[in-house]
Amino acid sequence: MSDIETTAKKRALSCVQPSGILTLGNYLGALKNFKAMQDDFECIFAVADLHAITVRQQPAALRQQIYSTYALFLSIGLDPEKSILFVQSHVKEHAALSWLLSCNTQFGEMARMTQFKDKSAKHADNINVGLFSYPVLMAADILLYKPDFVPVGADQKQHLEIARDIANRFNNNYGEVFKIPEPYIPPLCARVMSLQNPEQKMSKSDENQNAFVSLLDDKDTIIRKFKRAVTDSDNKICVSEDKPGITNLIGIYSAVTGKSTAEIEAEFSGKGYGDFKLAVGEAVAEELSPIYENYNRFISDKAELDRMFREGAEKASYLANKTYKKAMKKVGFVL
């Protein structure tokens, strides 16, 4: 039996797509919390590579991004001794369970998903069936591991809801197989917006490199990107609905320094945007610099990463296979 099955801690699971180099948004909205969660939960973290191909990827770049996402997991402090860290495509049950669940999901449910609408508008030349049904694969990712909790940002609530709906329907039709997971909103969950369009979230696949800070940007690049961040022209540093750019920068500064909004507004009272942007850039660069150093160490040893991939996949497969087999049997397949 794997260690994870023998403890009384609640289980949490989360996946990150290797659809680019992870950003400050992924870090402040997800990874930083994952690190903290490892002590309180039995954690399972996956590099969701199957999801990445809903948008066209260059094969060489995808391969590199799978390694780099996993190396970034390790670099921020996710620990394969404490948590299961694995690559989704290495565990065949994800795609397999997704088929069973697809046959228990309604077309109309998928058509309502806002992410499908957003992504199909962005990639009008490639509105593929995978993009449409990707929440079903996400439901499989979750339900295979019977987690108690799934950490979610505001943008992902709808996907967890659909996973819960699908699980309930399956359990009602065939008998109890899946645990119904609850959302977990981490205490310090920041939503980071694009530096070029603060009405949109920061995304690693944004075509404008200045819109996001990558976890592998060097100090000068980080400071330059913050200098160029789109703001308004009234030069007052405060949180306000009509100042989305400055509000976003205050949120970022608060997340990396731990200072409250009121403290930040007081610190920069009477100062200009130039000073503030530089301070945000420097604080972010300082927060990310150890990650960058760790990353260089992990990424330079691919053989060790391959070994960790295998070990993670073995632990994940043990759990996934049990759930998958149970679901297959309930549906009537002969195993």
Just list the catalytic residues: 119, 201, 204
Distance CA 276, CA 227 (A): 9
In the complex with ligand AQP, which residue's Cβ is closer, 104 or 147?
Answer: 147
248 binds ligand AQP (CB under 6 A): no
Nearest residue to ligand AQP by CB is: 29
192 binds ligand AQP (CB under 6 A): yes
Three-class SS state of 84: strand
Q: Among 113, 166, 167, 202, which residue sits at the site for ligand AQP (rule: CB under 6 A)?
A: 202
Piece in contact with ligand AQP (CB under 6 A), picked from 100-108, 197-205, 247-255, 264-272: 197-205
| Min separation Cβ 12 and ligand AQP, Å | 12
| Min separation Cβ 48 and ligand AQP, Å | 6
Tokens 């954690």 correspond to what residue? 43
Distances (CA, A) of 217 to 21, 94, 97, 142, 257: 10, 33, 37, 31, 19
191 binds ligand AQP (CB under 6 A): yes
**Which H or E run contains 221?**
helix 219-227
Say what angle helices 157-174 and 93-102 make with each other, to 10 degrees: 70
Six-digit token string for 293: 């150093």
214 binds ligand AQP (CB under 6 A): no
150 binds ligand AQP (CB under 6 A): no
Distance CA 243, CA 216 (A): 28
254 binds ligand AQP (CB under 6 A): no
Q: What is the 3-state secondary structure (H, E, C) of 145-158?
A: CCCCEEECCHHHHH
237 binds ligand AQP (CB under 6 A): no
17 binds ligand AQP (CB under 6 A): yes
Tokens 């919390």 correspond to what residue? 33
Q: Among 11, 26, 217, 323, which residue sits at the site for ligand AQP (rule: CB under 6 A)?
A: 26
Piece in contact with ligand AQP (CB under 6 A), picked from 22-30, 96-104, 134-142, 160-168: 22-30
| Min separation Cβ 289 and ligand AQP, Å | 21
Q: Among 164, 204, 277, 315, which residue sits at the site for ligand AQP (rule: CB under 6 A)?
A: 204
Residues 6+ apart with CB under 8 A from 279: 253, 268
Piece in contact with ligand AQP (CB under 6 A), picked from 35-43, 74-82, 199-207, 214-222: 199-207
201 binds ligand AQP (CB under 6 A): yes
User: Counting beta carbons within 10 angstroms of the beta carbon of residue 187, is it exposed (0 to 12), middle (13 to 18) or buried (19 or more)?
Assistant: exposed
DSSP string computed for 261-285: HHHHHHHTTT--HHHHHHHHHHHHH
Q: Among 109, 148, 155, 265, which residue sits at the site for ligand AQP (rule: CB under 6 A)?
A: 155
Tokens 């694009």 correspond to what residue? 194
Footprint of ligand AQP (CB under 6 A): 16-17, 19, 23, 25-26, 29-30, 48, 153, 155-156, 191-192, 201-205
